[in-house]
Chain A
């Protein structure tokens, strides 16, 4: 590396410049031009083994300034958002607003199998990212656009944050309590849904390419991705003309409201549907379980059993006074026991209770530990524990191979090894602020 760059390029070039092939998509290269709306998509393709090159603007991607930061130090190399969504990617900078930059980008695409970008539709043409332009110069490329509302249509140029996505796609109308403001998960689900569904669309297009040799455009909308999360609300409106609403601490299915589903235990919260199983397929066993602890109250009667045992009937839970009573019995029961005891005993009678985990709970969870889920990733500052692979593939395992790139970390690999520029040529591109 030239000493000229010592102040702007990292001094440590990781072994990752020649990444070890791993995962089913190892033969393929992805150019990732996404912001926070689509960064998970490239991350997933990287997890699946593809070589993902994150192209940043000179000086570093804006998402490097999204918090939280390591030690709360605001630094483009310390963004945990950047770390989370750009692990398994390589990084290079490029100024796409210059014609020289666009020329380099075109050359880079010539080496690639996939392009994923989150360019606003009204800016795409100016950046050389128009659908037809990309396809005509790279007919074998799978080009995926992830935008708030889609590349075309009446809302195509509207702006959206994650909350606007969860609102317009219908998830927020199903989140929160009646009479109170609709909410969203504080971790961005509009972005997550858009990215994860874009990967599915991308791989469908890829499979078609293995047969035809031709690439195509995948137009992913965040709003439409969020509509996937409506559960049964869409057919409920279609069939019954009822809008499922915000159930608060409850469940609404097919327009029928059931009781609460998060219960306070002695040491936190548990989650259990259908009044903890007092109603449904395991009603008998659940009543016996409470009775074993002397807390089934009047539910052991034949009259109650007839109302609760749904092994032969349909799955619409009791409401009104009956529902309130079941709920009260369960509230009293749960407070007496720890989360671990409640859930372990419920599971013994094949009743699908779960623990409401906090982050600390998850990291200390025995099951995830037994499955060796957590992955230690090497950083200059020491090892950092990351969530592990999201699927275990027996022949082509996916893995978290390396941390997110530092600014310009793979400049020489990308412009030298891939595009064939000499060190001097790369220096002059850097001097001209193209890279």
Chain B
């Protein structure tokens, strides 16, 4: 048994060169970093990672080391600054890769090709490398050079088509949804490839087209079309098989009159329990639309959290439509220790999201807040890459580390 087998850090000894940006890439490497891998983010002040320039900023002061958006996705990681447009940029990047097990990137495919850093190129310096490329539309095909965002990709993948009020425009979710969906697929492919390498010594390349993974989140939408020729339609909060199944407005909480509860009924027993909690035995024989109106009138006088407790105690699947604020005081998430409070040199004591699963023996450990841009230059360039003090200063002065 090696020393690493005794470590409680799952990915102890695994080093990642993380060229990826925005959501999908950083959220993949976050899984690795939060479980002990040494993840080195490779960024530049010349063309900053877009999330470093996106709000929320502490004190509403924009700054590359002040974005909560960036911070939340980059816990437990290191960061070097490196200008890949600088004449020495690519050769330095390759010297980092030489010491890495995994390369992640999420540019359109022409970027890595232009830099001479495709999988084939990088394999020459690191034959057992695992590389995952995560462009919107994959490494090949007529749309491969297209740009995009998670907000747009949810539309392209068919998710927005199913996310709307009935008969209205396809608004999609209010978030860049695929950014928070496809990282799990990408990480799964990457971890399976890592297992394969562990057993065989063989690395490989992963062409991860975000759209192709996202289509797997549309449930039966594809087969209903290919088998039945039917285009499924959005139902608002609703469900094709169950009613009542919706969100209902509750009584105001203080000044906040935007309190809602999800109430869902999947069988007769739950319907009877709902009617019982409401004190309305006749509800069990009401027609669905009429019942919906009755529930909506009733919930408007009820406090959302109390109603949730009552309904759950009676065995009815129900839950408050929780806001970000609510999540911070949710007793169940608190029990599971979802939020991690970490100290950041410029942003202070801030909440970070941990992974949603608990491993009984080797749980996640968010070891540090997000890195400052270039925070780990000295360590990475000198101790990992092996630059002398003179060479380090030379590159610093020449602008290679911008």
By beta carbon, the residue of chain B nearest A349 is B147
Contacts of A269 in B (CB 8 A): 155, 169-170
In the complex, A359 Cα to B177 Cα: how many Å?
A: 18
Contacts of A327 in B (CB 8 A): none
In the complex with contacts A229-B175, A371-B212, A390-B213, A197-B355 CB distance below 8 A: yes
In the complex, A158 Cα to B140 Cα: how many Å?
A: 46
CB of A187 within 8 A of chain B?
yes
Q: Are A81 and B220 in contact (CB under 8 A)?
A: yes
Q: Give the 10 A-B residue pairs with the shortest CB-CB distance, closest first.
A: A254-B55, A235-B68, A201-B357, A153-B335, A196-B184, A352-B147, A231-B175, A203-B191, A187-B219, A167-B262
Contacts of B240 in A (CB 8 A): 67-68, 186
Q: Are A218 and B213 in contact (CB under 8 A)?
A: no
B window 296-347: CB within 8 A of A: 312, 315-328, 330-333, 335-336, 338-339, 347
Contacts of B322 in A (CB 8 A): 167-170, 173
In the complex with contacts A245-B258, A350-B147, A253-B55 CB distance below 8 A: yes
In the complex, A260 Cα to B262 Cα: how many Å?
A: 27
CB of A347 within 8 A of chain B?
yes
Nearest CB in chain B: distance from A52 CB, A: 14
A–B Cβ pairs within 8 angstroms, 17 of them: A154-B332, A163-B245, A163-B247, A168-B320, A172-B237, A181-B249, A193-B184, A194-B356, A227-B327, A234-B324, A235-B69, A240-B56, A249-B171, A357-B158, A368-B211, A389-B212, A392-B207
CB of B288 within 8 A of chain A?
no
Q: Which of A81, A150, A154, A211 contacts B4 (CB 8 A)?
A: A211
Q: Are B222 and A362 in contact (CB under 8 A)?
A: yes
Q: Are A384 and B227 in contact (CB under 8 A)?
A: yes
In the complex with contacts A68-B228, A152-B335, A154-B331, A236-B55 CB distance below 8 A: yes
Nearest CB in chain B: distance from A254 CB, A: 3
Contacts of B225 in A (CB 8 A): 359-360, 363
Q: Which of A40, A252, A371 contacts B209 (CB 8 A)?
A: A371
In the complex with contacts A163-B264, A370-B142, A358-B161 CB distance below 8 A: yes
CB of B5 within 8 A of chain A?
yes
In the complex with contacts A70-B227, A354-B156, A208-B57 CB distance below 8 A: no
Complex interface: stretch among A4-12, A23-31, A294-302: A23-31
Complex interface: stretch among A96-104, A393-401, A424-432: A393-401
Nearest CB in chain B: distance from A161 CB, A: 4
Q: Are B189 and A197 in contact (CB under 8 A)?
A: no
Q: Contact flags (1/0) for B134-157 with A, using CB distance below 8 Å?
A: 001111111111111101110111
Q: Are B222 and A208 in contact (CB under 8 A)?
A: no
A window 363-385: CB within 8 A of B: 363, 366-368, 370-371, 373, 384-385
CB of A199 within 8 A of chain B?
yes
Q: Are A237 and B223 in contact (CB under 8 A)?
A: no
Q: Are B223 and A384 in contact (CB under 8 A)?
A: yes
Q: Which of A72, A254, A270, A394 contacts B206 (CB 8 A)?
A: A394
B window 38-69: CB within 8 A of A: 50, 53-58, 60, 62, 68-69
CB of A304 within 8 A of chain B?
no
Q: Are B264 and A161 in contact (CB under 8 A)?
A: yes
In the complex, A370 Cα to B359 Cα: how many Å?
A: 40
Q: Which of A180, A181, A252, A388 contacts B174 (CB 8 A)?
A: A252
Contacts of B264 in A (CB 8 A): 161, 163-164
CB of B117 within 8 A of chain A?
no
Q: Are B159 and A187 in contact (CB under 8 A)?
A: yes
Q: Which of B142, B316, B335 contacts A366 (CB 8 A)?
A: B142
Nearest CB in chain B: distance from A263 CB, A: 9
Contacts of B317 in A (CB 8 A): 158-161, 164
Q: Are A181 and B195 in contact (CB under 8 A)?
A: no
Nearest CB in chain B: distance from A138 CB, A: 13
CB of B224 within 8 A of chain A?
yes
By beta carbon, the residue of chain A nearest B219 is A187
By beta carbon, the residue of chain B nearest A281 is B50
Q: Are B212 and A204 in contact (CB under 8 A)?
A: no
CB of B283 within 8 A of chain A?
no
Q: Are B359 and A201 in contact (CB under 8 A)?
A: yes
CB of B82 within 8 A of chain A?
no
By beta carbon, the residue of chain B nearest A369 is B141
B window 191-218: CB within 8 A of A: 191-196, 198-199, 202-209, 211-213, 215-218
Nearest CB in chain A: distance from B38 CB, A: 15
Contacts of A396 in B (CB 8 A): 192-193, 196, 204
Q: Are A356 and B155 in contact (CB under 8 A)?
A: yes
CB of A337 within 8 A of chain B?
no
Q: Are A163 and B141 in contact (CB under 8 A)?
A: no
Contacts of B221 in A (CB 8 A): 187, 359
CB of B291 within 8 A of chain A?
no
CB of A48 within 8 A of chain B?
yes
